[in-house]
Amino acid sequence: MKHYGYGLLLLLSTAPVLAAQPADSPLNAPTLYLQQVDKAIREGRLTQAEQMIGLLEQLGPGAFADDLALLKAEHAIARMDVASAGTALAGIRNLERNVCRVYAAKGWVAANQQALDEAIVALAKATTDCPDDAGAWNLLGLAFIGKGETSAAKEAFEQALALEPDNAHVINNHALAILQDGAVDAALRQLDRAVTRSPQDGMIRTNRNFVAGMAGLSPERAQNENDADWSAKLVQFARGAKAAALGIQATALFSRAILTLDRFDETIWTELNPTVENPR
């Protein structure tokens, strides 16, 4: 099985499952405040969420210590701060209180630490206990990809797609999984779908252009593309063509990219002249 080198997206998109308190409970106000922190994190208002977390810490988490620790972990995950997320998760005493989110977060941290076996165990628990969580299935697929277990990865991504068929990131990840088995045309069709659903996502578009190059397609310049964007697209197609051993097409695309640039690019020059030292 041949593996190709492009990035995979690690995303956490679990549903809010903080334990609800009765309406007449004296702890109801803190519960609502925790929910507001949760909402801020999921809407990307991370600075506001951080301020609210700080206030809750000053007041003392009390009975909600585990909930607050989980929110701190998820806030760190949103900021791609692996170390802080792991520290926050280590402070959770009752792992079963918010089992789906806790184990999804633990899996994310482990995957980003390259502890893939540990990530798979955590995410398998998250998906077993909460099989309707597309985010956990997506993470599990990514962990399997990291282990080189393509069949298991495809199954995980298919579970995620069954729950969220229009999720561009999951479509992208599933395309990369089937690409490992050489299904270039099928992967390209999926990446075209992903680009349509998330046209501003640069990672997905880069993957699409790479696979299009593998398929032997030629890039087309959009009306609003400047020289830098057009050159980047040429390079993405060229690298795909090179990965598929389409040497003549790859060389032609790299050459066009060089001619488009307004300054020397050593990486592209090296692609064209791998045995020639930098002429500068």
Q: What is the value of pTM for the model shown?
A: 0.81
**CA–CA dist 189, 236 (Å, integer):** 17
**CA–CA dist 207, 173 (Å, integer):** 10
| SS3 state of residue 96 | coil
Asked whether residue 192 is assigned to any structural domain, the reply reads no
Asked whether residue 166 is assigned to any structural domain, the reply reads yes
Question: 41: which 2 tokens?
Answer: 């994190």
157 with 220, same domain: the answer is no
Segment 266-276, tens digit of pLDDT: 777 777 776 65
**CA–CA dist 104, 113 (Å, integer):** 14
Predicted local confidence at residue 12, as pLDDT: 35
Predicted local confidence at residue 175, as pLDDT: 94
pLDDT top residue among 167 and 31: 167
- 163, pLDDT greater than 60: yes
170 with 45, same domain: the answer is yes
150 with 233, same domain: the answer is no
**CA–CA dist 38, 18 (Å, integer):** 9
Segment 59-100, tens digit of pLDDT: 776 778 999 999 999 999 999 999 999 999 999 999 988 898
Is residue 180 a contact partner of residue 144, using CB atoms and an 8 Å limit? no
234 residue type, one letter: L
* Domain CATH code at residue 116: 1.25.40.10
Q: Name the pLDDT band for 245 (thresholds 50, 70, 90).
A: very high
Number of independent structural domains in the chain: 2
What domain range includes position 243?
Answer: 201-280
- 9, pLDDT greater than 60: no
159 with 40, same domain: the answer is yes
Predicted local confidence at residue 61, as pLDDT: 65
Compute the CA torsion angle 192, 195, 197, 200 (nearest 10 deg). Answer: -170
220 with 167, same domain: the answer is no
Predicted local confidence at residue 13, as pLDDT: 37
Asked whether residue 250 is assigned to any structural domain, the reply reads yes
